[in-house]
């Protein structure tokens, strides 16, 4: 695929994968993006997963049209992007490998210290001339590994953004960008909001017309839409009005209370999203919690704590710096309910969390007292 007169897409689609990073379901597969710039000198930007080496080399050679590449630019060392460095250097031993010093350290850990003896270590602000194209390297540590850099081509005004602005899904599938980009962001990058904010500030100083990420489609139109979303996500802002209810239920009684609450909120004009944590895609539930401004957690007291799926869910949130949100709590217990206390304590290290009263307590099954407390909670939530 030709992106500009001199920049080509040479990546691959993966429909064999079931779990990305061993944990995220990807029903529409994944794209591993790689790019090539043809000029007086030729630069290849990142490789792909090693399983797709034959297809990637075929794509590469097709665009090379008999020429040899001068540079391989390695922006990110995760194996889905660095898997074919050995194959590349074996085939093109005269090409220079360009990466950050930290990337070369990690490269040695993956492939051995002898990898890429013909190397060029670059840092923030360094440039590389290909002819009419001049590339500038921008450090992006912890977006979302420490060695990451992104690359800016001033001639075609293209930002090669590494894992930034990526999404789940192969490129031969038509799907909404924001949904799978949001799930990807909060699952994989969400902990590093401050670092993404730092990169966005650097990007604001560049004249960017095209964004080329390492996953997902090349972004050419309405770039402010994508930049604004990334700014909201990385600053932990509220993207959409609405209330998320996340719950676990052992015998259906907590579920009944959740259904009652959801109906009352919808009657009050609220957009409500409900996630059964034992059955839903956990990454989707995490995405919803970060998308909306208010979260209701409902679970049972279990083993003197809380139900395992709820504990896992809250851990996913807190380790991703969940903040700037309102939280309401519903607990169920037959003899010593304390789920609300445990859930609240789990957020003790989170910033700017407001707990909405009252805590709704269910003693075994919802009753008239439950509904009275629920009505008061609904008023405060609305």
Mean pLDDT, all residues of the chain: 96
- What is the maximum alpha-carbon separation in the chain? 79
CA 31 to chain centroid? 14
Give 272's strand partners. 243
Q: What one-character DSSP code corresponds to residue 155?
A: T
Question: Domains in the chain, please, with CATH?
Answer: 7-234 (3.60.15.10), 240-381 (3.40.50.360)
Q: What one-character DSSP code corresponds to residue 41?
A: S
pTM: 0.93
**pLDDT higher at 244 or 114:** 244
**First CA to last CA across the chain, in angstroms?**
49
Distance CA 243, CA 284 (A): 14
- 231, 200 contact by CB (below 8 A): yes
Q: Does pLDDT of 113 surpass 90?
A: no
* Residue 117 pLDDT class (50, 70, 90 cuts): confident
- The residue assigned the tokens 């051995």 is 112
Residue-wise pLDDT for 158-212, tens only, equals 999 999 999 999 999 999 999 999 999 999 999 999 999 999 999 999 999 999 9
């Amino acid at each position: 695929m030709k992106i500009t007169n001199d920049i080509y897409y040479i990546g691959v689609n993966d429909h064999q994968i079931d779990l990305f990073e061993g944990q995220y379901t990807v029903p529409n597969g994944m794209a591993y993006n790689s790019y090539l710039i043809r000029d007086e000198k030729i630069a290849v930007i990142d490789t792909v997963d090693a399983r797709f080496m034959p297809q990637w080399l075929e794509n590469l050679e097709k665009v090379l049209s008999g020429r040899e590449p001068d540079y391989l630019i390695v922006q990110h060392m995760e194996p889905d992007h660095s898997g074919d460095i050995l194959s590349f250097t074996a085939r093109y031993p005269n090409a220079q490998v360009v990466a950050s010093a930290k990337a070369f350290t990690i490269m040695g850990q993956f492939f051995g210290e002898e990898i890429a003896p013909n190397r060029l270590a670059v840092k923030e602000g360094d440039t590389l001339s290909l002819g009419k194209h001049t590339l500038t390297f921008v450090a992006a540590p912890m977006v979302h590994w420490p060695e990451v850099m992104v690359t800016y081509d001033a001639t075609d005004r293209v930002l090669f953004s590494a894992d930034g602005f990526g999404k789940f899904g192969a490129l031969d599938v038509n799907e909404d960008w924001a949904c799978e980009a949001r799930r990807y962001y909060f699952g994989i990058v969400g902990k590093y909001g401050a670092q993404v904010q730092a990169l966005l500030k650097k990007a604001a100083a560049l004249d960017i017309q095209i964004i080329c990420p390492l996953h997902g489609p090349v972004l050419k139109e309405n770039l402010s839409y994508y930049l604004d979303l990334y700014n909201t996500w990385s600053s932990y802002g509220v993207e959409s009005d609405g209330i998320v209810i996340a719950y676990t239920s052992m015998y259906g009684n907590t579920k009944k209370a959740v259904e009652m609450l959801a109906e009352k909120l919808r009657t009050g004009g609220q957009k409500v999203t409900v996630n059964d944590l034992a059955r839903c895609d956990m990454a989707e539930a995490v995405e919803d919690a970060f998308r909306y401004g208010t979260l209701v957690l409902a679970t049972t007291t279990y083993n003197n704590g809380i139900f395992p799926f709820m504990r896992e869910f809250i851990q996913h949130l807190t380790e991703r710096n969940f903040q700037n949100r309102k939280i309401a709590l519903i607990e169920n217990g037959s003899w010593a309910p304390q789920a609300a206390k445990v859930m609240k304590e789990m957020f003790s290290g989170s910033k700017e969390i407001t707990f909405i009263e009252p805590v709704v307590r269910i003693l075994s099954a919802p009753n008239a007292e439950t509904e009275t407390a629920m009505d008061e909670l609904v008023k405060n939530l609305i």
